[in-house]
Amino acid sequence: QVHLVESGGGVVQPGRPLRLSCAASGFDFNNFGMHWVRQAPGKGLEWVAAISNDAHNKYYGDSVKGRFTISRDNSRNTLYLQMNSLRPEDTAIYYCAKDLLRFLGPAFDVWGHGTMVIVSS
Amino acid sequence: SSELTQDPAVSVALGQTVRITCQGDSLRSFYASWYQQKPRQAPVVVIYAKDKRPAGISDRFSGSSSGNTASLTITGAQAEDEADYFCNSRDSSGYHYVFGTGTKVTVL
């Protein structure tokens, strides 16, 4: 069964870093692109970042570019999101999601349950 | 970047049909996908590449597109279809994704 399990969320002060992880199982992780999507409390979905199956291509949403870094370890079937210079507006549930293809596919077909990040002093 | 606009809320009587629309310039170049999200749950894709339905998704859900507008139709709506629905597509650059503003569907 295909599973994505996020971890690493919590409460962090503004300006501090945090790293999220997403453990994948049940599919050939190194054959699919991956994404991070977030959802602020009571708000809609916001695409955050994407990485190709081989990690050679990475793209970021405008609101996080230059502060967040997406990466993956295919030997560990794990996706990461390094978040630096966090701001209160980064407070959200962070979901990892599997791409239908190796990169820039037409949909995110598997989602994790999400991990909550709260940026507050 | 591009924007995708949806009506905030729609309601449908049990067993009737409802259409949700998503408008944006990027839809002239890229197909939309649609995600259903129930309270305190992760989103689930119900339609992708304009009109393809993933395995396990009810055939009550169908998709279409014309010009700058994508549509999700729920035919014979059931109580379990009550949820938030978000469209998604690549933006005009082709390298980013954008979600629609979301539509809350209430089944009466």
pLDDT of residue A59: 97
Grade residue B51 by pLDDT with cuts at 50, 70 and 90: very high
What tens digit of pLDDT does each residue of A46-69 get? 999 999 999 999 999 999 999 999
Distance CA A114, CA A92 (A): 9
Residue B1 confidence (pLDDT) above 60: no
Q: Tell me which residues of chain A have a pLDDT lower than 50.
A: none
Distance in Å, alpha carbon of B39 to nearest chain A alpha carbon = 10
Distance CA B64, CA B48 (A): 10
Tokens for A32, please give them: 């699919």
Distance CA A54, CA A17 (A): 25
Average pLDDT over chain B, rounded to whole? 96
Residue that the structure tokens 């599973």 belong to: A3
Are A46 and B54 in contact (CB < 8 Å)?
no
Residues of A with Cβ-Cβ distance to B98 under 8 angstroms: 47
Nearest to A107 among B1, B48, B94 (CB): B48
pLDDT of residue B4: 96
pLDDT of residue B50: 86
Pairing type for strands A78-83 and B83-90 reads unpaired
What tens digit of pLDDT does each residue of B73-84 get? 999 999 999 999
pLDDT of residue B2: 73
